[in-house]
């Protein structure tokens, strides 16, 4: 494709218009093989510059949906809007360089897994709007073994770190709001 003024696509909507920083429109494609959509047109308003403004647009009936609202903002407004929280294939990964010390030792990696209290992350970091994935990026997939559950065991982790000679391990944990920004793309 070389002419981006008339993009081609697939799905139950057709390209209508695109105004950078303002909106995109997609009229219903009634001949879609999977059945036409239940609405006449999809309008994506990209003029909102922050999460609170997007959620306020829903509260004031200027918009019907504000996807991927931050958990704390959703919880603070749960009595004013319907929160559609369902399990899906999205996941948050903690990334380690397993080709350099100390993470090249499987005991250190296992210890860090055992030190991760996933239930606390769900309640404290996500305000309850998450599901423990048990180290699987896609626990909602059809053939995922739901009997597996990651274990929180600080004592075993301590033992593994000692055995690996890493019982004095100290490391920075670098965080940023990029995960939520990625979800909004």
Is the pLDDT at 150 greater than 50? The verdict is yes
Q: Is the pTM of this model over 0.75?
A: no
* Average pLDDT of the segment spanning 71-84: 84
Domain locations in the chain as residue ranges: 106-184
Tokens of 182: 């990625």
Q: What is the pLDDT of residues 103-145, one digit of tens each?
A: 999 999 999 999 999 999 888 888 888 888 778 777 777 787 8
The pLDDT confidence band at residue 25, using thresholds 50, 70 and 90, is very high
Exposure b/e, 154-181, CB count within 10 A at least 16 = b: eeebeebbeebebeeeeeeeeeeeeeee
Q: Residue 28 carries which DSSP code?
A: B
Comparing CA positions, the residue from 118, 142, 144, 143 lying closest to residue 131 is 118
Structure confidence by residue, pLDDT tens digits, 30-55: 889 887 788 999 998 888 888 889 88
């Amino acid at each position: 494709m070389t002419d981006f003024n008339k993009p081609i696509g697939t799905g139950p909507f057709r390209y209508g218009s695109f105004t950078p920083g303002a909106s995109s429109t997609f009229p219903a494609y009634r001949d879609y093989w999977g059945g036409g959509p239940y609405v006449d047109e999809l309008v994506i308003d990209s003029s909102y510059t922050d999460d609170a403004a997007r959620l306020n647009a829903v509260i004031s009936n200027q918009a019907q949906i504000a996807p991927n609202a931050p958990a704390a903002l959703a919880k603070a407004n749960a009595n004013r809007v319907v929160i559609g929280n369902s399990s899906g294939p999205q996941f948050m990964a903690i990334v380690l360089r397993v080709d350099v010390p100390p993470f090249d030792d499987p005991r250190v990696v296992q210890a860090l897994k055992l030190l991760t209290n996933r239930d606390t992350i769900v309640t404290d970091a996500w305000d309850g709007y998450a599901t423990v994935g048990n180290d699987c990026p896609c626990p909602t997939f059809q053939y995922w073994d739901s009997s597996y559950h990651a274990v929180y065991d600080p004592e075993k982790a301590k033992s593994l770190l000692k055995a690996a000679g890493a019982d004095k391990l100290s490391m920075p944990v670098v965080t940023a709001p990029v995960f939520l920004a990625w979800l909004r793309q």
